[in-house]
Structure 1
């Protein structure tokens, strides 16, 4: 497949910059892969597509307010520090992005609120640095909860608000470490989850902490040559066992909420459609054509053009059918991207 196959025009007016309330009142486009049919629903209708024996697999990754501001020693220059991932929690080591990068060099110290100090110990990329927090008693995650800003996607033109700390998050988020929200899961409410469970659907977690590579431009026309960044994942033992039992008995479907969940399941699949439990790092890249081994249905959002997220969905729905459905969505006033509407593919 070529990058140009995933190109479409997305007007800025279709990018939702605030969520609807309640979350499950958003629109939902339903794609039937076998019949090539499209239905228009609201997200709260999704329960009607589930049945007893199905497994709904959620990504419980939790976004933390990863943008913090400090001052450079001596010059007092204001420095934005974007915490990407913790390298060694005990040692206080983090991979970060800094802005303005030209002012931040190895050996510099950056001072934050509450007398917290970090030292730059290495360069990684043009804006990337490795820093060490020098206050051994500092819990960085607790610090950013107090002083940090939510890292909204770069396609938002507004600054983050206090409300985004709750809105840019799933209601079931529990495992802190993401700088990008698992977007498809943001449509669920607790009453809707309880309604689905009463149908006899088991709801089980996995963890994958999405990275900023979600938004990186693909720079090769031949998409097979694109390399994904590695991202941390964890598949609990119970989740793996329930999936494997469902695949053996064939008494239900494995429904993945989001491309992140789908990628974790497929990255850990055996040839017979079972998966392995455990944690690690994955750079699984799914694009058409791809034979899905575990995922039977997919909940997703409307994705940006020419992104790896769009490619995963395209591989699952069938490329031409998906791109035609996007044309329909644009004509039908669907809202796109993180705070936008939903799609259910079965």
Structure 2
């Protein structure tokens, strides 16, 4: 949902998608995280200046009494591999051999990426998914899934294609399996953590794409601003009088897709489920009462808090949100932001620009490139301090 007082105008570059473009050399795309994570570089943005630090310096840069709000979502192993089964197959037939995918099924290989649940059940559940190759997967097809080593699982996980999904270009799949395991347990055995397509390294471990505080399964992408934190850094922040609070937003792929329309105001953000609990609302209210500052760790946190304050005051909130923030937005809760360096023409860049101005954001990106910062999910990031606008 759009939420900006600015009128759409060809004369206002802030509302033109092309105005959020920049050139990124491929070598600046981080392929693996820095070790330890808190050694990643941090561009600290103040009102009239900026400086180059590292995330381990965060306790010294923030003030006692500030509050960091984190997204505790956990990335699920949403990438599945399988084969399309013949339509005349006997459903009672035994599974293929346990070692390796039979050569006869090689032409029917299918890759599935879970997006969001449509319906959950004890023995079956329905998900909205993307499939590859999409043209070969038709309504009524049945898919059998394999573990990452190519073996058939004891759960005999299968899915039938129920419908096409016009909103994503994907499919609606109904999953079925045998045994007493819940679907989340089955996924842990058969699925892989999905990584963004720009990460090509084979050195990435599943835990590299999770925050250290991840605990609520449901996302297909990580809240990457949180990947800079370590347990040691969280302890140091607490000792410095900088507490933390949590929201949950289950991240879908729509957040990261480039904006393809010419005018920003014509873009529609895909909705995502989020929860802002009462404990977090109380922590924010206590922070504001003592004069502290509310710092969102990531754009997902920023969108969640602003969604929960759309009535004018922050309230506990749970449900789907398609709040799209771009220059001209009136911020209600968030004062500062920790964020990564994002893809060109993305809604994430537009959100950050609404805090500090589009031109200053582009200038900072050029500074980061000149200083050889690492970009995207495993890259470096920036801390935008309160009142660092334009």
Q: TM-score, normalised by structure 2?
A: 0.84
Q: Do residues 317 (structure 1) and 359 (structure 2) align? A: no
CA contact (8 A) 1:271 1:293 kept: no
* Counterpart residue number, 2:41: 27
Q: Do residues 94 (structure 1) and 111 (structure 2) align? A: no
* CA RMSD across the alignment: 1.6
* Counterpart residue number, 2:96: none
Structure 1 unaligned regions, length at least 5: none
* Counterpart residue number, 1:236: 277
After superposition, residues 70-149 of structure 1 pair within 5 angstroms as: 70-74=82-86, 76=105, 77-90=108-121, 91-113=124-146, 114=153, 115-125=156-166, 127-135=169-177, 137-149=180-192
CA contact (8 A) 1:267 1:282 kept: yes
Structure 2 unaligned regions, length at least 5: 1-14, 87-103, 147-152, 386-390
After superposition, residues 134-213 of structure 1 pair within 5 angstroms as: 134-135=176-177, 137-158=180-201, 163-213=204-254
- 1:126-153 CA distance string (max 9 Å, x none): 7411111122644222222222222111
* Counterpart residue number, 2:68: 56
Q: Report the alpha carbon displacement of residue 314 of structure 1 after superposing the two structures with TM.
A: 1.0
Counterpart Cα distance in 1 of 2:290 and 2:321: 27
1:332 to 371, 377, 380: 371
Q: 3-state DSSP class of the match of 2:247?
A: strand
* Counterpart residue number, 2:306: 266
1:6 to 20, 37, 50: 20
CA contact (8 A) 1:6 1:311 kept: yes
Q: 3-state DSSP class of the match of 1:239?
A: helix
| Regions of 4+ moved over 6 Å | none
Residue-pair matches, total = 340
Q: TM-score, normalised by structure 1?
A: 0.94
- 1:209-235 CA distance string (max 9 Å, x none): 111112322121210111000000011
Q: 3-state DSSP class of the match of 2:81?
A: strand
Larger Rg: 2
CA contact (8 A) 1:55 1:243 kept: yes
